[in-house]
Amino acid sequence: MSGRVVVLASGEGTNVQALLDSGLPVVVVGSDKPRARALARAEAAGAATVVNRDLARWGEILAPYKPDVVVLAGFMRILPDAFVLSHDCINVHPSLLPAFPGLRAAEQALAYGVKVTGCTVHYVDTGVDTGPIILQAAVPVRAGDTADSLHARIQVEEHRLLPEAVRLHLAGRLRKNGRHVEVI
């Protein structure tokens, strides 16, 4: 598959691992946290890594990698508008957006008492979890669920949908029309 995928992550990197395992052309994984497990996963797969805590510098740091898409895979920072507007960025979020944006989505879903939640892969815009939706998958909320147990089931769907959305983007099979994204 052609294309150059740049991934930004802040934590464990399970979505980074899903991208790497899917055979996508991940050229670099960046993080704002030097001890993020995502970096170790990238290094083990032979991908370059970079650490940067200055959000304003991501554009210049990633420029040499010439990304076709920047994937936010558990990157827990809000990128500057200028960066988002100059790159195709895809994010994965652990809820059926527009419900429960931001942090602690599984906790929000449980507190609200929903019967179904899930995950969303979307293009990034200048808002928080407000970009056009590419793919979604539903996950039932079970009696006795904790935020951790629910999030673990949501992650199964994230690991399936995120690589698929990136693959569709790289293949030129996603068409944006305002808030709508069509798979062609």
Average pLDDT over residues 55-80: 97
Say what the pLDDT of residue 129 is: 97
Over residues 10-39, mean pLDDT: 98
Q: Using one digit for the tens of pLDDT, what is the confidence trace for 171-183?
A: 999 999 999 999 9
In angstroms, the CA 77 to CA 90 distance is 14
Task: Look at residue 16 and give its three-state secondary structure.
Answer: helix
For the chain, what is the mean pLDDT?
97
pTM tops 0.85, yes or no: yes
Residue 34, pLDDT score: 97
Q: Are the CB atoms for 31 and 39 separated by under 8 Å?
A: yes
> Cα separation of 99 and 75, whole Å?
19
Mean pLDDT of 141-161: 98
pLDDT digits (tens, 9 = 90+) for 80-98: 999 999 999 999 999 999 9
All domains of the chain in start order, with CATH: 1-87 (3.40.50.170), 92-184 (3.40.50.170)
pLDDT of residue 103: 96
Residue 39 contacts by C-beta under 8 Å, 6 or more apart in sequence? 13, 29, 31, 49, 51
Q: Comparing C-alpha atoms, which of 50, 53, 23 is closest to residue 38?
A: 50
What does the pLDDT look like over 96-119, one tens digit per residue? 999 999 999 999 999 999 999 999
Residues 145-154 have pLDDT tens digits of: 999 999 999 9
What gap in Å lies between CA 60 and CA 80, rounded to an integer?
13
pLDDT at residue 1 above 80? Answer: no
Judged against a pLDDT cut of 90, whether residue 79 lies above it is answered with yes
Predicted local distance difference test score (pLDDT) of residue 2: 77
Q: Would you place residue 54 in the very low, low, confident or very high pLDDT band (cuts 50, 70, 90)?
A: very high
List, by residue number, the catalytic residues. 93
Which tokens is 95 given? 């809820």
